[in-house]
Amino acid sequence: MKEKFDAILVRPPEPIIETWYDYAESLGLGYIASYAREQGHSIKIIDAIVEKKTIEEVVTEVLNINPLIVGFSVFQVAFENTIIIAKKLREKGFVGHITLGGHFPTFSAKEILGNYGGDIDSIVTYEGEIPFSQLIESLKKDNCWETINNLIFKRDNKIIQNPINPLITNLDELPLPARDKFFEAFKVNKTISISASRGCWNNCSFCTVTAFYDVPRGSRWRGRSVENIINEIEFLQIKYAYNSFTFIDDNFFGPGTKGVERVIDFAKRLIEKNLNIDYSIECRVDDVDYEIFSLLKNSGLKAVFLGIENGDNNILNRFNKRATVTDNERAIKILESLELSINAGFILYDPFINLSELEKNIEFIKKYKIFDLPALLRKLELRNGMEYRKIIENSGLLIVEKNVTDYYFKDKSVNNFYKLIQLCLSNFIPSYFLFRELKNKKELSLEASSFFSDELNQSAIKIFEDLLQEIRLNQDLMEESKEYIEINNLAKQKGQYLYKTLKFTSLIKN
């Protein structure tokens, strides 16, 4: 019998270049789905990332179900694929409502509707649970959806922006997120995602989180109660018989003393209940305190995604981090002393970086062995809504092409360096992905994993330093230059050696 749903929620496929990390289930779609179901609507979730679905497979599935509405949760990197899917749906006769939601559509609504208003009916801005459910209700009844708050749409060549709902005050009142794609995601990540809060109380210039939660009325950081979080953990333990959790909060710590007290209360409650879980969190460096993190470790904390962002104070100031390199180092040392795993948030390149700042950063990276190959290539990503984008626009460095936004580096020697280092380090990418694959499959011993991680990172750093030195001597260094060819050949040889050795090591183990 043919499936029938009122609405389909879609996370579209993303380009392969973005798979530096493993994808978890989308709790954003999960919350929207569970809220809509609570209102009596039937919802289908298509997560093209965890289900490994192609554009054509998503299109076929939507057409087969033919819902009243399709809602896409869109990251900037997936926008082009989203538009391709929408256009194919229209070409194949789909007449239902198509809406987009998320940070990128919220801040790009006018441009999206201006360019693709014939395919996209509306944008759901900011928090989506209430407006998306109301959209379904309207489409089921009278089709008079144009008065729903948080919607932006196009009528008679005019962009209409409706009033914005206040932020949801009490997150405990939301139903737990739907986890329709839990098992597909779990095969890859081996952890259960939980959202304990929304928003961030800081104001980093490179981030859209603050802007996303700052426009609607309400507190831009809201946390669920400790009791509510503990109840979900116990529920998930029973349902899935697993004890490893990842908190996906933009900042696990709330603001001020109350934010710290909430975290302490959470850790103590975990210990009192003897839940025996392990978990990871994300936080700022100035959240890290030895006593608090000792307590968190005793309650099960194993890993911390730490917002370090850079190893130079000038760049940290440009990012409005309100933290220094000394703060970064203090936080790293505390976490290392507690033997907690560190996953570093790091942005090496911004449009204004110079060679001296690159040198300071590479020394920082060498000093603390918590970075991997992508850190040497990671640029500041430009997103609509971020404060730093306005600065770049005013500087004249912005590059805007169809569906692509990038920037030049102000220092011409950095422009050349970045082009060449991408070519050099591409020699290590096959080894990097093979290493991650073997590590995730547990086909490497701890000793082998540590060895290959060090070899890969140290080899890449050596190439980085050699090329930086040559650029210092000749900022117009070219691919045809003898000096560059020698460095690139060294990278190629080392990359091939690592790849072959990894292959051989995995064959021996098997």
Instruction: For tokens 């025996």, name the residue.
Output: 276
- Cβ–Cβ under 8 Å, residues 105 and 74: yes
Mean pLDDT of 120-134: 97
Query: CA 63 to CA 48: how far, in whole Å?
Result: 15
DSSP code for 25: P
> Residue 239 in 3-state DSSP?
helix
7-161 to CATH, choices 3.30.470.20, 3.90.1200.10, 3.40.50.280, 3.40.50.1110: 3.40.50.280
Of 5-9, 134-138, 391-395, least confident by mean pLDDT is 391-395
Check whether 109 has a pLDDT greater than 90.
yes
Domain boundaries, the chain: 7-161, 190-347, 411-510
The pLDDT, as a whole number, for residue 20 is: 34
> pLDDT of 356-394, one tens digit each?
999 999 999 999 988 889 999 999 988 888 999 999 999
Residues 6+ apart with CB under 8 A from 469: none
**9 or 441: which leads in pLDDT:** 9
Q: Which two tokens stand for residue 62?
A: 């939507």
**Pair type for strands 192-194 and 197-199:** unpaired
Mean pLDDT of 295-313: 97
Check whether 198 has a pLDDT greater than 80.
yes
The pLDDT, as a whole number, for residue 9 is: 98
Confidence of residue 8 (pLDDT cuts 50, 70, 90): very high
- Cβ–Cβ under 8 Å, residues 97 and 135: yes
The pLDDT, as a whole number, for residue 177 is: 97
- Cβ–Cβ under 8 Å, residues 351 and 395: yes
Check whether 507 has a pLDDT greater than 70.
no
Helix (H) or strand (E) segment spanning residue 282: strand 278-284
Q: Which residues pair with 222 in a beta bridge?
A: 198
Mean pLDDT score of the chain, rounded to an integer? 93
Angle formed by the axes of helices 446-473 and 412-425, nearest 10°: 150
Of 240-244, 366-370, 426-430, 503-507, least confident by mean pLDDT is 503-507
**In CATH terms, is domain 190-347 a member of 3.50.50.60?**
no
Confidence of residue 104 (pLDDT cuts 50, 70, 90): very high
> pLDDT of 143-174, one tens digit each?
889 999 999 999 988 999 999 999 999 999 99
**What is the model's pTM?**
0.91
Query: CA 254 to CA 278: how far, in whole Å?
Result: 21
Query: CA 138 to CA 126: how far, in whole Å?
Result: 19
Q: Which two tokens stand for residue 424?
A: 């050099």
Instruction: For tokens 């850079």, name the residue.
Output: 310
Q: Which two tokens stand for residue 23?
A: 């994808």
Single-letter amino acid code for the residue at 208? T
Check whether 276 has a pLDDT greater than 80.
yes
> pLDDT of 317-347, one tens digit each?
999 999 999 999 999 999 999 999 999 999 9
Mean pLDDT of 87-111: 96
Check whether 440 has a pLDDT greater than 80.
no
**7-161 and 190-347 in the same fold:** no
The pLDDT, as a whole number, for residue 17 is: 39
Q: How many CB atoms lie within 10 A of CB 8?
A: 24
